[in-house]
């Protein structure tokens, strides 16, 4: 049976992997045993997907990313070039801790910028945005924009990746999609899909 995904001839795919229809895997990438990769993903060059990693649908992995055991990425996640995951809190070369991998969840629609580092054991909320070079050491709220080392919350981002600016009624309109967002009790939620475009 012909496979329903594309893998460059230099790709190594171990036994027991599941790779979804329409996924593309590029040069010198290694997909390790029991990994699950959803439909329509794009896996860049020189990527390692370690055993038991789960990637949802439409996940974009840029070049030079290693996704270690314990990482789960839900649908529509973006992993920027050379960003870094960890999966052990206190690694030592001389101490074997293979049974102590710590889980990290990257929720639906989240984006991680180039060269960012994600310390294991945290959750990046839906549609959160991690700026390039950030070092994330704790959970990130949905729609939150975090930057710096250690990463700090500096604002909010909509589903289209545009900054959200809330008015006196705690309402923000995405300038690209016209979607409406509400800020309440320290959290952001999307309250409508799209608004009719109106000129002021």
Tens digits of residue pLDDT in 55-100: 999 999 999 999 999 999 999 999 999 999 999 999 999 999 988 9
Contact 61, 67 (CB under 8 A): yes
Domain presence at residue 143: yes
Q: How far apart are CA 36 and CA 52, in angstroms?
A: 7
Chain-centroid distance, C-alpha 61: 8
Task: Mark whether 122 and 140 lie in a shared domain.
Answer: yes
Task: Mark whether 197 and 136 lie in a shared domain.
Answer: no
Task: Mark whether 177 and 192 lie in a shared domain.
Answer: yes
CATH of the domain at 55: 2.160.10.10
Task: Mark whether 153 and 168 lie in a shared domain.
Answer: no
User: What is the rounded average pLDDT of the residues 114-139?
Assistant: 98
Task: Mark whether 125 and 168 lie in a shared domain.
Answer: no
Taking 50 as the threshold, does the pLDDT of residue 46 lie above it?
yes
Contact 147, 164 (CB under 8 A): no
Phi, psi (rounded to 5 degrees) for 45: -75, 145
pLDDT of residue 27: 98
User: What is the rounded average pLDDT of the residues 165-175?
Assistant: 96
Domain presence at residue 36: yes
pLDDT of residue 98: 85
pLDDT of residue 199: 47
Task: Mark whether 138 and 174 lie in a shared domain.
Answer: no
Q: How many residues does the chain have?
A: 200
Task: Mark whether 110 and 57 lie in a shared domain.
Answer: yes
Q: How far apart are CA 10 and CA 35, in angstroms?
A: 18
Task: Mark whether 94 and 173 lie in a shared domain.
Answer: no
| pTM for this entry | 0.94
Structural domain including 121 reads: 6-157
User: What is the rounded average pLDDT of the residues 189-198?
Assistant: 73
User: What is the rounded average pLDDT of the residues 100-107?
Assistant: 96
Domain presence at residue 23: yes
Domain presence at residue 1: no
Q: How far apart are CA 145 and CA 155, in angstroms?
A: 5
Task: Mark whether 173 and 118 lie in a shared domain.
Answer: no
Task: Mark whether 142 and 169 lie in a shared domain.
Answer: no
Task: Mark whether 151 and 191 lie in a shared domain.
Answer: no
Task: Mark whether 168 and 135 lie in a shared domain.
Answer: no
DSSP 3-state helix, strand, coil percentages of the chain (rounded to 5)? 0, 35, 65
Q: How many domains are there within the chain?
A: 2
């Amino acid at each position: 049976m012909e496979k329903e995904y594309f893998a460059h001839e230099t790709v190594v795919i171990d036994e027991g992997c599941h790779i979804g229809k329409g996924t593309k895997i590029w040069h010198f990438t290694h997909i390790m045993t029991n990994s699950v990769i959803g439909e329509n993903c794009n896996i860049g060059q020189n990527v390692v997907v370690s055993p038991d990693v789960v990637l949802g649908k439409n996940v974009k992995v840029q070049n030079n990313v290693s996704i270690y055991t314990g990482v789960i990425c839900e649908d529509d996640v973006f992993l920027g070039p050379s960003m870094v995951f960890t999966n052990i809190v206190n690694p030592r070369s001389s101490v074997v801790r293979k049974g102590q991998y710590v889980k990290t969840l990257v929720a639906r629609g989240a984006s991680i910028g180039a060269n960012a580092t994600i310390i294991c054991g945290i959750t990046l909320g839906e549609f959160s945005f991690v700026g390039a070079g950030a070092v994330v050491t704790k959970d990130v709220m949905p729609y939150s924009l975090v930057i710096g080392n250690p990463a700090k919350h500096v604002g909010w981002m909509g589903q289209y990746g545009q900054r959200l600016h809330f008015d006196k009624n705690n309402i923000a309109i995405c300038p690209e999609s016209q979607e409406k967002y509400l800020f309440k009790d320290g959290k952001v939620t999307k309250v409508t899909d799209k608004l009719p475009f109106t000129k002021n």
